[in-house]
């Protein structure tokens, strides 16, 4: 669906106050009441003009932010023959947004995803798709990298897989220790990236 059609559908839904997806037995109407309660708990009046449509907007935003639950990572792995290709394949600085499972607050940053093929490759955009599937869920940063490299090793069977993530966490910037500008870096290395210094060094040099 193109953006324009999606935007129109979104406007129509807000106008009709009628998102349609019932999840785990909770209807959109029940969810709206729950979000109204949350607004009251925060200390505001959910019936004032600026907040009246907020529950439905939150439901819509969550459908997008958490769309990763409805997608199967296995679907990404249409592989292609690439006999003789045995050098580093790296998609770097892929921007992404996720949501920390401890505070339900955003964290965002960039991912670098790499593998060294074993005669099979996947379309390069599929690496970004895999990241979307796992980041659009309640997450911790460390797990996103692990899930991506686990899937690469399982479905593509490369010589090695790596995922390095650099993120700023809203829950650390705006609350708690309040450290503006800090970034957390995590890496998940499998196969030759873990066992061979030369493969790991090449990767680190390329993503610098």
Given a contact cutoff of 8 angstroms between Cβ atoms, the answer to whether 126 and 73 are in contact is no
Of 185, 114, 188, 184, the residue nearest 144 (C-alpha): 188
Residue 143 interacting with Zn ion (CB under 5 A):
no
Given a contact cutoff of 8 angstroms between Cβ atoms, the answer to whether 107 and 167 are in contact is yes
Identify the residue among 103, 120, 143, 157 touching Zn ion (CB under 5 A).
103
User: In Å, how far are 115, 138, 143, 157, 182 from 186, measured between CA atoms?
Assistant: 17, 17, 9, 22, 13
Q: Tell me how far apart the alpha carbons of residues 67 and 63 are, in angstroms, rounded to a whole number.
A: 6
Count H helices and E strands in the chain, helices first. 8, 7
Identify the residue among 171, 173, 184, 204 touching Zn ion (CB under 5 A).
171
For Zn ion, the closer of residues 100 and 111 by Cβ is 100
Residue 102 interacting with Zn ion (CB under 5 A):
yes
**Phi then psi for 47, rounded to 5 degrees?**
-95, 0
For Zn ion, the closer of residues 138 and 194 by Cβ is 138
Shortest Å distance, C-beta 24 to Zn ion: 23
For Zn ion, the closer of residues 106 and 196 by Cβ is 106
Tokens for 198? Answer: 């030369």
For Zn ion, the closer of residues 154 and 175 by Cβ is 175
Shortest Å distance, C-beta 28 to Zn ion: 27
The residue of the chain with the least Cβ separation from Zn ion equals 171
- 3-state DSSP helix/strand/coil percent for the chain, to nearest 5? 45, 25, 30
Residue 175 interacting with Zn ion (CB under 5 A):
no
For Zn ion, the closer of residues 11 and 102 by Cβ is 102
For Zn ion, the closer of residues 12 and 102 by Cβ is 102
Size of the site for Zn ion (CB under 5 A): 4
Q: Which x/- pattern, by CB under 5 A, does the window 82-101 give for Zn ion? A: ------------------x-
Shortest Å distance, C-beta 94 to Zn ion: 21
Shortest Å distance, C-beta 175 to Zn ion: 9
Taking the alpha carbons at both ends of the chain, their separation in whole angstroms is 36
| Chain positions contacting Zn ion, by CB under 5 A | 100, 102-103, 171
């Amino acid at each position: 669906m193109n953006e324009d059609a999606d935007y129109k559908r979104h406007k129509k839904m807000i106008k009709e106050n009628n998102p349609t997806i019932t999840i785990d037995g909770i209807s959109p109407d029940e969810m709206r009441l729950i979000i109204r309660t949350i607004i009251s708990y925060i200390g505001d009046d959910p019936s004032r003009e600026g907040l009246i449509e907020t529950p439905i907007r939150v439901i819509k935003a969550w459908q997008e932010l958490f769309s990763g639950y409805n997608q199967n990572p296995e679907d990404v792995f249409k592989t292609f023959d690439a006999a003789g290709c045995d050098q580093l394949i790296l998609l770097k600085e892929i921007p992404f947004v996720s949501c920390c499972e401890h505070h339900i607050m955003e964290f965002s940053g960039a991912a670098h995803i790499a593998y060294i093929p074993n005669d099979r490759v996947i379309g390069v955009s599929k690496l970004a798709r895999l990241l979307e599937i796992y980041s659009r869920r309640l997450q911790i940063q460390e797990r996103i990298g692990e899930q991506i490299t686990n899937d690469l090793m399982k479905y593509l069977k490369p010589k090695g897989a790596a995922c390095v993530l650099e993120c700023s966490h809203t829950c650390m910037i705006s609350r708690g220790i309040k450290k503006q500008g800090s970034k957390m870096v995590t890496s998940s290395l499998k196969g030759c990236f873990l066992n061979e210094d030369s493969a790991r060094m090449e990767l680190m040099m390329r993503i610098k």
